[in-house]
Structure 1
Amino acid sequence: MIRIGVIGPVSRRISALTISLVVAGGLAGYVPSAQAATGYDGGGLQCRGEGVDPAAKIRYRTETLIKAPLRTVWELQTDVEGWPTWQKPVTSMKRLDPGPLRENSRFRWTTPVPATPVSPPTTLVITSTVRQLQHHKCIRWTGPAIGEGLRIDRGVHVWTFTQVKGGVLVRTEETHAGDQIETDVPLATDFLGKGLEAWLHDLKATAEARTGDRR
């Protein structure tokens, strides 16, 4: 476990805020919609029968309608090497195995973290493993996120894609677990939510722009 150098309630709150800002991809100003902010309904999203961590204290779920073909949305999301081109917080991406994204595929990506009163500027390194995948339907990956003075022991992320009238309904749910980020669960959850809302916003904007360009 990587330690934070200062101990106490204030430092614990700052460390939780720091990690939450990383989770949010630095987009803390993005406000979740009222629908998304209603929180977790207990059901949980699943891909091939597997969902998020049921014991995790930090969880968030949201959705959006993307007015684009299912193929366009799916390709954007599963072409992980292309994430840095439409998600500013993703500063690097590397596939750890060849071929199309599939079950057991692994990829490593990074996002920068600014300096805080209790930690120096660093880069959070996230290593994700695809656990379940169903073409054009869903994807689920897990993995840790580690930086100097920052750590998320286990993240679980589920995405589902449903073709509906007018486009694709994209749902996403994520949980985080670890002693460090659980020092302030409401704060970490709030910023996790902001990060997922921003991700959906970017996915929607990029997919719809590509659809418009092809008309």
Structure 2
Amino acid sequence: MMKKLIKIAGLILVVLALTVAGLEIDSSYQATKNIHENAPVVTKLQIVIDAPIDSVWKVFANVNRWPQWQKEIPGSKMDGSFKEGTSFDWKTHGLTIRSTFHTVEKNKEVGWSGPAFGSFAIHNWHFIKQGNKTVVKVEESMEGWLVWLLKGKFQAVNKGSLIYWLKALKTASEK
């Protein structure tokens, strides 16, 4: 009886592993400059930072220093220039992600996209000069089989992370 249960459990694990592998192989994500409004997870937020746009940009554009002010990112590494087409690796919420910039316009906007296990995200950041202050708007879409499966969890975590990121950027920029 025990051997039969072990065989059934093993078979279930193999079927699950093959299903996940098939989903990963079959996943085709469209990297665009705009977020995917129809994705299972879409988050849009903004914050006003009491600092000139040049100061905010300087903090944000230094990808290798993100972990110093954004504690949800324990590691980030960009090889190359802060420009369109450059890729960077970063860690957040236990995932290591490789993203590629699709947009970099100094003091105006930054956008990137990249896959992670079972997901694909597009991030866009907009910097708007408002006198001696800066309005930062962020928007992100996430999709993929795992995101679809755990939509509520991904939406909550994503919103919380972006709120934290905006507040951390505000704190670092206002120093």
Same fold (TM over 0.5): yes
CA distance in 2, matches of 1:201, 1:173: 15
Give the direction of change, closer, same or farther, for the CA distance of 1:174–1:68 in structure 2 (3 Å limit): same
Aligned-partner residue type, residue 104 of structure 1: G
- The SS at the match of 2:72 is coil
Matches within 5 A, 1:37-76: 50-76=33-59
- Residue 144 (structure 1) aligned with residue 115 (structure 2): yes
Can you list the C-alpha shifts for 1:122-164, whole angstroms capped at 9, x where unaligned? xx1111100011111001100012xxxxx24311000000000
Whose helix proportion is higher, 1 or 2? 2
Matches within 5 A, 1:168-187: 168-187=134-153
Aligned-partner residue type, residue 133 of structure 1: V
What is the CA RMSD across the aligned residues, in angstroms?
A: 1.9
- The SS at the match of 1:51 is coil
1:125 match = 96
Q: 1:91 aligns with which of 71, 74, 77?
A: 74
TM-score, normalised by the number of residues in structure 2: 0.77
Aligned-partner residue type, residue 142 of structure 1: S
Q: Which runs of 4+ in 1 moved over 6 A?
A: none
CA distance in 2, matches of 1:152, 1:77: 27
TM-score, normalised by the number of residues in structure 1: 0.64
Q: Is the 8 A contact 2:52 2:132 kept in 1?
A: no
User: Following TM superposition, by how much is the alpha carbon of 1:180 offset from its aligned partner in structure 2, in angstroms?
Assistant: 1.0
Q: Is the 8 A contact 1:91 1:112 kept in 2?
A: no
Length, aligned pairs only: 146
Aligned-partner residue type, residue 124 of structure 2: V
User: Following TM superposition, by how much is the alpha carbon of 1:53 offset from its aligned partner in structure 2, in angstroms?
Assistant: 1.6
- The SS at the match of 2:39 is coil
Q: Which runs of 5+ in 2 are unaligned?
A: 1-12, 14-31
- The SS at the match of 1:180 is helix
CA distance in 2, matches of 1:92, 1:175: 22
Using the aligned pairs only, state the percent identity: 28
Q: Which runs of 5+ in 1 are unaligned?
A: 6-48, 114-123, 146-150, 210-215
User: Following TM superposition, by how much is the alpha carbon of 1:54 offset from its aligned partner in structure 2, in angstroms?
Assistant: 3.0
Aligned-partner residue type, residue 128 of structure 2: T
Aligned-partner residue type, residue 83 of structure 2: R
Relative contact order: is structure 1 or structure 2 higher (C-alpha 8 Å, sep ≥ 6)?
Answer: 1
Give the direction of change, closer, same or farther, for the CA distance of 1:76–1:128 in structure 2 (3 Å limit): same
CA distance in 2, matches of 1:67, 1:182: 37
Task: Please identify the structure whose Cα radius of gyration is greater.
Answer: 2
- Residue 204 (structure 1) aligned with residue 175 (structure 2): no
